[in-house]
Structure 1
């Protein structure tokens, strides 16, 4: 994980393009927003908002939460929520391979852990093309990591007795701050967040230029003295292909 934390925010309030720019100008690098059905319009992330956050220079973290203790419903709830999250992610063109976090937003006890594990694994089974994460307290993060319930971990300081998990990709350390006139929670991230933006996958290079660069990289690949160098040249060539919209 990254040694220098990256500052970010999460909020229930949809961000206007102007607010996103002001939040970015204040030094924040990502915004976590709710990936929820249209019945939750008051906090729902839309494509327009995602584009505004991206244009401001921030990354996006997607989190699914309808009710705080929804995970108590186990696999059945996870299956339904995963399917709903997938529909929303596709509707806003969330980048494939990024994460969708599912919230355990209460002081979960050990008696709840089996249901939470079942919830997360069922949700993960539904979000084809994406990776599942969990937002929860220290104890839940530790337990779900141990059980392999998901791939990404966002810890809140709430109910955590001052402890911070070494497995947390994101750590929420303060609620109820105000940035750009918006009520937000403050976070730090440490790598492996699974964030995304609306420009990922966009064609930013012509096919002709890409093919010229790839020819140079190919020559370097053949001249490379070891596998590590060849693997790196291959990786770089694939990144160039992606930038030009050439299938990898």
Structure 2
């Protein structure tokens, strides 16, 4: 069963956070009261959600607090080797897990690209990203790409991918040519409301694109 809510474009200068920790209803309400407007939680690389990953009940708690919601898939351990077949598998698993949670089509589902082995060619990364994109897009979700450290690709190569939604990590990364980023992440050193987070700020990219989130309200 799909989560109830509306898919909306994220207004520029909306402050949110990403967290690899289950968010309780009380914690979600704390963040909302402090002016955060959205939360990004995790999907598993495997074909089922792990204990610390997003669940349907947690998603409902986040939405009920007034926070909007997006999801990002975990990345493999640093030094991993992307390929077309791995991208297809990871993309298919992202779809399976998003569907199990009840996330509706039209929502941004983000691919985490970082920590790639130094020996991997740009073409292998391109093949991975394209296969991931195709699997997620075919299911009706809107693929986005988180660009982290050691992603291998240049700004032009990132733009040449089929993605239209890019999220800049807190690492030093190239600017996506022509388009730029729709979200910018900032490192947060200390726990907030008892959990580790990174801050994220939305913006409209150079082509007018914005991130797409799920909210339970008509406006955030």
- Please, what TM-score do these two structures have when normalized by structure 1? 0.70
Q: How many residues align?
A: 198
**Structure 2 match to 1:30:** 38
Give the equivalent residue in structure 2 for 1:182. 195
Q: Which has the larger radius of gyration?
A: 1
Q: List runs of 5+ in structure 1 lacking aligned partners.
A: 205-248
> Per the alignment, do residues 108 and 22 of structure 1 end up closer, same or farther by CA in structure 2, a change over 3 Å counting?
farther
How far is 1:41 from its partner?
A: 2.1
Contiguous gaps of at least 5 residues in structure 2: 1-8, 205-209
Secondary structure at the aligned position of 1:159 is classed as coil
CA–CA distance in structure 2, aligned partners of residues 110 and 151 of structure 1: 27
Structure 2 counterparts to residues 119-130 of structure 1, below 5 A: 119-127=128-136, 128-130=139-141
1:103 paired with 2:112, answer yes
Matches within 5 A, 1:50-65: 50-65=59-74
Shift of 1:143: 3.6
Which structure has more helix as a fraction of its residues? 1
Are the equivalent residues in 2 in contact too, given 1:99–1:194 (CA < 8 A)? yes
After TM superposition, the structure 1 = structure 2 runs for residues 189-208 of structure 1, keeping only pairs within 5 Å, are: 189-191=202-204, 192-197=210-215, 199=216
What are the equivalent positions in structure 2 for 1:91-240 lying under 5 Å apart? 91-106=100-115, 112-127=121-136, 128-137=139-148, 140=153, 142-160=155-173, 167-191=180-204, 192-197=210-215, 199=216
Contact map agreement 2:81 2:120 (CA 8 A) in 1: no
Is the counterpart of residue 11 in structure 1 residue 19 in structure 2? yes
Deviation, structure 1 residue 19 = 0.5
Aligned-partner Cα distance in 2 for 1:180–1:76: 40
8 Å Cα contact 2:92/2:135 also seen in 1: yes
CA contact (8 A) 2:49 2:55 kept: no
- CA distance in 2 between counterparts of 1:3 and 1:94 reads 20
Once superposed, what is the RMSD of the aligned Cα atoms? Answer: 2.9
Q: Distance in 2 between matches of 1:31 and 1:80?
A: 26
Contact 1:8 1:187 in 2 (8 A): yes
Separation in structure 2 between the aligned mates of residue 30 and residue 116 of structure 1, nearest angstrom: 29
TM-score (norm 2): 0.78
Bigger relative CO (Cα 8 Å, ≥ 6 apart): 2
